[in-house]
Amino acid sequence: MSEQTTNPTYVLQGAAPLGADPVDLVLAGGVITEVRAAHSPVADDETAVDATGLVALPGLVDLHTHLREPGREDAETIVSGTRAAAVGGFTAVHAMANTTPVADTAGVVEQVWRIGRDAGWVDVHPVGAVSVGLEGHQLAEIGAMADSAARVRVFSDDGKCVWDPILMRRALEYVKAFDGVVAQHAQEPRLTEGAQMNEGVVSAELGLAGWPAVAEEAIIARDVLLAEHVGSRLHVCHLSTAGSVEIIRWAKGRGIDVTAEVTPHHLVLTDELARDYDPTFKVNPPLRTAADVEAVRQGLADGTIDIVATDHAPHTREDKDCEWAAAAFGMTGLETALSVVQQTMVDSGRMTWADVARVLSAAPARIGRIDEGPTAQGRPLEVGEPANVVLVDPTARRVVDGRSQATASTNTPFHGHELPGRVVATFLRGRATVLDGAPVEQVAGVRS
């Protein structure tokens, strides 16, 4: 693949930062160098990008992405996954540790970090495992991963719960030394043995083993108390029930240092979709009830839930094109996340574009501690800040085609659905990774 040897000075003409009044944003040398009046004259050495009618947001940051490499490159690679992230408007992702081998050593997290850096589509921040092999018995090399070139600050056994309260306490105590955070997959294993979907009316009618809400809520309740006891940071992954929202609300009211995320699919999809036994809709945690969907929307709107994270989980066709019981859990989400948030939260009047920037950029960057320094993410669109910018057309409508997305997998739950909004351009420190809605293949260092 050819390389882009120089980065032009881009002038985003008529862009509306966070949906406010249009201006011209000038991106040069990796930063925002100037904010001009809208549609000012452009110099000969500047490249104009027509952003009329487009909303400008800080580059999106995903705290929860599965890139599958190393080990499951048949489902996704770091290159294909980060290309999909750029198309979705992201400029940074956190790669979960449940790879093969597991990212439980400094060597593995540095491998993931270096491949992501060489790919160049987005900044890749590896998430380190809490326990060796994700088995929940022995702490992984947390300190070594934190001190590595990857500078890991988020640790999670996601895909599995840190079920042992003693190990969870030790992990929370350990990460305090470098201001890290433990991101918990809240799933009590004994209460979910053999579970296939949400426990409720639909599971009873279908005869599928149910996944009770209390299995999530019990772990969250335990862990917020542990976090309070040791004075550490806790992050709750993919919160999905009304009860979980109430526990987080209570914990924050008590002053506990806890944050929480909701996925796009839990903002809109319900367990009714399991009636057709389509494995596309099999996910962990499971799709819940309409009442749960309403509760998580309200929790996101009022700030109880801090961020939206994709839990992008690509799978091969073989792992999804099978009977429900044999199918893998998970859905892709990087390329549809912003549209789902627009549909459920912005177009409904629950949130503004400034709120979207908070839950999809500033807050996840802060939780992951990547919001400072020359490669900072989630920063405001102001002069002197890193030029991580996404331009969105909020008036566009598109029908999702899972077969034509940039991710290597097709298991999107939104295939055939019409969604609002379209990412028109993405800039990573002033370098265009997406223009006119398509990946810029001349990105320096990107491997095909």
Chunked mean pLDDT (size 10), the chain, 448 residues: 63 98 98 98 96 98 98 97 98 98 98 97 98 98 98 98 98 98 98 97 96 98 98 98 98 98 98 97 98 98 98 97 96 98 98 98 98 95 98 97 96 98 98 97 48
- DSSP-derived letter for residue 32 is E
Say how far apart CA 44 and CA 344 lie, in whole Å: 42
Q: What is residue 448's predicted lDDT score, i.e. its pLDDT?
A: 34
Q: What is residue 7's predicted lDDT score, i.e. its pLDDT?
A: 82
Query: Cα 185 to chain center, whole Å?
Result: 14
Report field, pTM of the whole predicted structure over 0.85? yes
Q: What is residue 353's predicted lDDT score, i.e. its pLDDT?
A: 98
Sequence length of the chain is 448
Is 315 annotated among the ligand-binding residues? Answer: yes
Q: Which residues contact 190 (CB under 8 A, 6 or more apart)?
A: none
Does the CA dihedral 177-183-184-185 come out positive or negative? Answer: negative
59-368 CATH, one of 3.20.20.140, 1.20.1740.10, 1.50.10.20, 3.40.50.300: 3.20.20.140
Catalytic residues: 311
The CATH topology of domain 10-56+383-439 is Urease, subunit C; domain 1 (2.30.40)
Is 179 annotated among the ligand-binding residues? Answer: no
In 3D space, the residue among 174, 223, 181, 230 whose CA is nearest the CA of residue 367 turns out to be 181
Q: What is residue 6's predicted lDDT score, i.e. its pLDDT?
A: 66
State the number of CA atoms in the 13 A half-sphere of 331 facing the CB: 27
User: What is the SS3 assignment for 251?
Assistant: helix
Is 329 annotated among the ligand-binding residues? Answer: yes
Is 373 annotated among the ligand-binding residues? Answer: no
Is 415 annotated among the ligand-binding residues? Answer: no
Domain ranges of the chain: 10-56+383-439, 59-368
Q: What is residue 36's predicted lDDT score, i.e. its pLDDT?
A: 97
